Every structure is written in C-alpha cells, then in structure tokens.
Amino acid sequence: MRGLMVSITIGCTCAGAFAAPEEPRSDWFGYERLDFVINGRDCLLVLPKRAAEGKPWIWRMEFFGHEPQADLALLEHGFHVAYMDVQNMYGAPVALDHMDAFYDHLTGPWGLSPKAVLEGFSRGGLFSFNWAARHPDRVACIYNDAPVCDFKSWPAGKGRAQEHTEDWQRLLDVYGLTEEDALAYTGNPIDNLAPLAAAKIPLLHVCGEVDTGVPIEENTRIVEARYRELGGEILVISKPNCDHHPHSLQDPTRIVNFILAHVPGLPDVPIREPQTPYGYDYFVLRSGLGNCRIRFVTEKRGRVAFLGGSITAGGGWRDMVCEELQRRFPQTEFDFINAGIPSYGSTPDAFRFARDVLKNGTVDLLFAEAAVNDDTNAFPPVEQVRGMEGIVRQARLANPEMDIVLLHFADPGKVAETLAGRTPEVIVSHERVAEHYAVPSINLAREVAERIHAGEFSWEKDFVDLHPSPFGHGVYFRSICRLFDAAWPQPMADGAATTAYPLPAEPLDPNSYLRGRLVGIDQAELVDGWHIDPAWRPTDGADTRIADVPVLIAEAPGATLKLSFSGTAVGMFVAAGPDAGIVESSIDGGPWVQHDLFTPWSSGLHLNWTTMLASDLPDGPHELTLRTAETRNPGSKGTAARITDFLVNGG
C-alpha cells in the first residue's frame, strides 16, 4: 500500500506552495506522496501538481489505492488526497478520535480546506457517515462506494449478506458492545442521518445493484429513502448486474462532476459530460485498427465495407460513420461499400462475402453486424459461430491486414436479457469469434440497455424499434466514434507500416463457412416442374425485397431438381413470400428432410431468406436432390419455391 518511501527534507512544496513538516516522500502515479504518523496511526497525503484555490481535499476512509480513478482525476483538478489507517475500527468512536487529530493536522500545518470531501469504500462508509455526523460543519460532500451503512447487514450478516465472523467480533470489541447490544444499536449511519441533512451535505453513492456482500437494499436504499425524507440531497448510481466489485466507475467523470459541483469556493471549472452511464465503455479493442489508419494516411485511399442486414442497408449510423472517417482523414479518397441486405445474418453473409464485400477489390476496414438477424431468424448457436467465423476468416484470407469491427445491435429481447444479467446467446457466439481472431467488437445491445437503465432515454419513446430512430442511429454512431478515439489516441508515428494479423491455425468449428460461395441457379439440373424467370417480379400485390433478378421457380408440388457440388454444406437463398411452400431435400440418395420456406414475415412480403439444407457433410463431392412438397405451412397460400442462389461451403 505504501510503495517506496524515501526520507528527504522538505522545505516548501511546489504543489501547495506552503511550509510543510518533514515527511518521508515517494511517488504515487506520478504525484508526490508524503507518509507520516498521527496519534500512532500511519497516514499519508498525496499532493497535486498545483493546488486548487482553497486547497480542497478528498479523504479516503478505507482501501487507499483501490480503484483510484476518482482520486487521480481530482488530483488533476488540484485536490489533495488523504488517508489515515484506522483499519479494523469500523467507524467506532475511538477511530473518530484519531480522525479528528488527522483532520486538525491537515487543516492546521497543511492549511487544507476546513471542509473535506469524504470517500467511503465498502466498510469505509461507517467511517465517512459517523465522522460526518460528529462534524457536519467540516464536510463538503460525501462520495460512498458500495458502502456499509448498517453493521447489522455487514459484517453481522443479519440480512441477505453472509456473516463475517472475524470482522463482527472485532467490531463488537472496538465498539465495546455485546452482540445483543449491537443488534439494538441505534447509532448506525441509517439511524443517524439528521445531522447530515440539517447541514445540507450532498451524498453520492455508487453501488452494484446485485451486491451480495453489502446488499444495496439493506444499506444504500435505506439511506436514500430516509435522507430524502429528511430533505437531504442524494444521488445513487446503481450499476446493473454488478456485485460488490468492481468498485467505482472506470471513467470517474460522474463522480468528479458531483464533487466539483459541491465543493465551496472552487473557481468555475469546465464540467465534462460523461460518455457512458457507468464509467466503462462497450467495446473491446483487441488487436485494434492500426492497419487501416496507416493506409488511409500514407496511401490516401481507403476502402471501407459495411456488411449486415436492414439496419446497415438503410443508412443512418453507416452514413454518419462514412462522414466521420472522411472528417478524420480529409485527404483520403474513400470507397464506401454498402453490403447490407435486409433479413440476412451471418450465415448468408458468409456465402455472399466475395460477391458483395470484395466486389471492388481489397477492403481495408470492415464493419460486420448480424446479432439482430441471427437471433430473430432463429439461427442456432452453431450456425451463429459458423456464419460469423466464415465472414472473419474469409476477410483475413482475402487481406491479412484487413481491420474488422464486429457490432452487436440492440432489439427488445437483447435489452431485456441484458437487464436481467444475461448475455444474449448470439452475442456470446459472435464474441467467441471476435476473441479467437482478436478483432474489435462493440456490444451496442448492452450499451442501449444500460443507458435505458440509467434513465437517459427509453426504448419506446426514443429508440422506438430495432430499426432505430435517428436518435438510436446516433447512439450507435457515437459509440463507434469512441472506438476510433481509443484505437487512434495519438498521432501516427512516422514510418508506421502495416502488418499482417496472425490467422489462427485452426478454426473454432471445422465446418464453419470458411469456403462459403454462391452457385448460380443455372448450375442445377431441372428434372421436372422448375423454370428460370430471368427478371422475376411478384404479381400478387405483396411487397417485395427481390425484383428483376433471375429466379428459379417451382409452384406446384413434386417439382424436382438436382445439383452436384463439392464441399461440406449446401443451402439456398430464396424469396420467401405469401405462397412459400415446403421443400424436401436428399443428399446422395439419403433420407428426405423437409424445410419450411414460409417465415413469420412472409404473409405480406417476399423477403430474402436463407435455408441451409445440409451443413455437416463429409468434405467431397455430393449430389443434392430437391423437390417441392405436397404439404405447406398453415399460414401460406401456396407451395411455391423461388431460388435466387445456391450456397456451397467448399470447392
């Protein structure tokens, strides 16, 4: 905890520009740290580079140096950071006596502000509340983090938390209480808030919503309700699905803003808006985005592709990202490729990759999103991995230096699952791929869920739909911008050169669609009942996403075709409209398997749909026999099959 201590003589500190006693001095995160003893207790004080007006300070009650983000940020604002070791005294009167002497030392010889900011981590809440109740006139505000507010909760374990026997016995000893007396004790923070409220001391609590060690409902929630009844000001940041750890906020902006707003005498300082509600971001950078930036800067050309479904195809976030890249690299001539097709997910995207993503040549930066359609189209986890791995591995085989970003967009189901503390299955699948290939990813579903939880906006009024409103597209765009900021934090070094990303020797799944390709409908042998319409367009009045393209059609039952292919999987792209029927497939003369082409969205729309007919074949030559069935889905108006492409993994 103390780090290296070097004894030297101090005359006048640069940080505070006032006389100080002789203290051992060391370094703490680049700041000067002084160690000394008061009342027989070890103490320390960390000095800012330049003290703010009034010499404000924050007093850490327990666990100095643990999750120090807020302390470091306040040092930058000219605060001193103080700590006195009164560990295992649990805020008892004997501890408060020592703390009084420490306060006198800091406000006397050191000349620090007479009003301290108190910071109570965990059991440190007992110290901050009890000392503030003793000296409300000496407190500017209190920041407590997952604080103990009632020792009957912790360490006694008389509620939902487990008893910590050793701590409980030490607490009884230092307070001089029997267990019976302690359970009847009315001097806990939850019982002694009136002096704080009367002094108008603002409180900030940062807590885990599912804290099992110091349950929020037995501690902070009681304080919150009672303090408000007393007219006190309290802000609670409850982190969803967070236990007792991790403490604090990775980005402490909300904590720092609260403190800066409630310390009297500070000159006006710019208040920076927090970028995320709970202090951490939603991307994982992994291998970063170094190669594409080097190409954009040095070659002044760049090709960026966007692969996904309708949320990608429709613009919005995609258009804003294109504009942002052009703003960041104004001298670069970009080729932006919109490879979004509504309804398609990772499996179809793996098969159409060469046609739609690589159509103009080498791609420098690829955005790929399939979390929404892989889920809503009911692709199982094995397909979610095979499809996404097929995309990523094909991309890296086509250009080993290609930068890739996987995006996980939001929908109501993912928001609900996230808020319930679960990671949606499809995101787990796609993150397996991202981790295996070390590509960056952004969990936008989690971001949307947590911003809703934090009260920033609502799904119904602001985000509106899984096809986001302009507001929702803005949420996605700003998240991608923060990824850019993290990936490119410094100016590019002179002479920087691109490097090939290592390709894992083995795929996650040997049957992933690594060799996915399209096979033309003209390659099929039309045995009976099929024909090709060279520019098909529906005539039933239903909306369509497919028109004026060649389509292989059979409308009556019993129509049969054959397709010879080589590989491990075969499937097809179809137009799944109101009269979509059921087809039956047989591989190499094997048993017949039925595939329903009618979807939940088919009744009023001819939409792009993907049907995998076989996915675990021995690698080699095969023959597919396909026929239309007599039966049909109860919701369908017919028995039609309309194929735009065959899909083969292999060859």
Domain ranges, residue 458: 283-487
* Tens-place pLDDT, residues 301-323: 999 999 999 999 998 999 999 99
* Tens-place pLDDT, residues 509-561: 999 999 999 999 999 999 999 999 999 999 999 999 999 999 999 999 999 99
Structure tokens at 486: 């993290």
Establish if 308 belongs to a structural domain. Answer: yes
Establish if 144 belongs to a structural domain. Answer: yes
* Tens-place pLDDT, residues 326-383: 999 999 999 999 999 999 999 999 999 999 999 999 999 999 999 999 999 999 999 9
Above 70 in pLDDT, residue 11? no
Establish if 504 belongs to a structural domain. Answer: no
80 near 49, Cβ under 8 Å?
no
Residues 77 and 190 in one domain: yes
Residues 116 and 223 in one domain: yes
Burial letters 531-550, b for 16+ CB under 10 A, else e: eeeeebebeeebebbbeeeb
Establish if 166 belongs to a structural domain. Answer: yes
pLDDT of 266: 81
pLDDT of 8: 25
344 phi, psi to nearest 5 deg: -85, 145
2 band by pLDDT with thresholds 50, 70 and 90:
very low
CATH number of the domain enclosing 427: 3.40.50.1110
Residues 255 and 301 in one domain: no
Other CB atoms within a 10 A radius of the CB of residue 513 amount to 35
pLDDT of 16: 35
* Tens-place pLDDT, residues 210-230: 999 999 999 999 999 999 999
pLDDT of 265: 82
Among 208, 230, 261, where does a domain finish? 261
7 band by pLDDT with thresholds 50, 70 and 90:
very low
Establish if 502 belongs to a structural domain. Answer: no
CA-based R_g, the chain, Å: 32
Establish if 361 belongs to a structural domain. Answer: yes
Residues 52 and 170 in one domain: yes
High-pLDDT (> 70) share of the chain, %: 96
Q: Where are the alpha helices (DSSP H) in 213-343?
A: 220-229, 253-262, 290-298, 310-313, 317-328
High-pLDDT (> 90) share of the chain, %: 94
pLDDT of 24: 81
Q: Identify the H or E element spanning 475.
A: helix 470-487
pLDDT of 273: 85
Above 80 in pLDDT, residue 13? no
* Tens-place pLDDT, residues 372-417: 999 999 999 999 999 999 999 999 999 999 999 999 999 999 999 9
Residues 250 and 373 in one domain: no
For 620, counting Cβ atoms within 10 Å of its Cβ (0-12 exposed, 13-18 middle, 19+ buried), the class is: exposed
407 near 366, Cβ under 8 Å?
no
Q: What angle do CA 543, 549, 553 make, to 5 degrees?
A: 80
CATH number of the domain enclosing 636: 2.60.120.260
Q: What is the DSSP string of 19-42?
A: B----EEEEETTEEEEEEEETTEE
**Which residues are within 8 A (CB) of 191 and not within 5 positions of it... i.e. 6 or more apart?**
none
CATH number of the domain enclosing 209: 3.40.50.1820
Q: Please tell me the total count of domains within the chain.
A: 3
Pairing, β 560-567 against β 525-528: antiparallel
Above 50 in pLDDT, residue 9? no
Above 60 in pLDDT, residue 37? yes
Residues 390 and 297 in one domain: yes
Which of the residue ranges 121-130, 264-273, 419-428, 531-540 would you say has the lowest mean pLDDT? 264-273
Residues 201 and 325 in one domain: no
Above 50 in pLDDT, residue 32? yes
pLDDT of 420: 94
Residues 349 and 473 in one domain: yes
For residues 602 and 578, give the distance between their C-alpha atoms in angstroms, rounded to a whole number: 5
Mean pLDDT across 558-587: 97
Above 50 in pLDDT, residue 64? yes
Looking at every residue in the chain, the average pLDDT score rounds to: 94
Which of the residue ranges 99-113, 258-272, 476-490, 610-624 would you say has the lowest mean pLDDT? 258-272
Structure tokens at 161: 């938390």
270 band by pLDDT with thresholds 50, 70 and 90:
low
Among 211, 229, 261, where does a domain finish? 261
Above 70 in pLDDT, residue 456? yes
Residue keyed to tokens 């110091």 = 214
For residues 272 and 255, give the distance between their C-alpha atoms in angstroms, rounded to a whole number: 11
Q: What is the pTM of this model?
A: 0.88
Establish if 508 belongs to a structural domain. Answer: no
Establish if 1 belongs to a structural domain. Answer: no
Residues 190 and 339 in one domain: no
Above 50 in pLDDT, residue 128? yes
Above 50 in pLDDT, residue 243? yes
Residues 255 and 308 in one domain: no
For residues 47 and 89, give the distance between their C-alpha atoms in angstroms, rounded to a whole number: 26
Mean pLDDT across 60-72: 97
Above 60 in pLDDT, residue 6? no
Burial letters 213-239, b for 16+ CB under 10 A, else e: bbbbebbbbbbbebbeeeebebeebbb
pLDDT of 403: 98
Residues 48 and 118 in one domain: yes
* Tens-place pLDDT, residues 95-106: 999 999 999 999
Question: Bridge-partner residues for 37, per DSSP?
Answer: 42
Structure tokens at 473: 């597209």
Residues 58 and 167 in one domain: yes
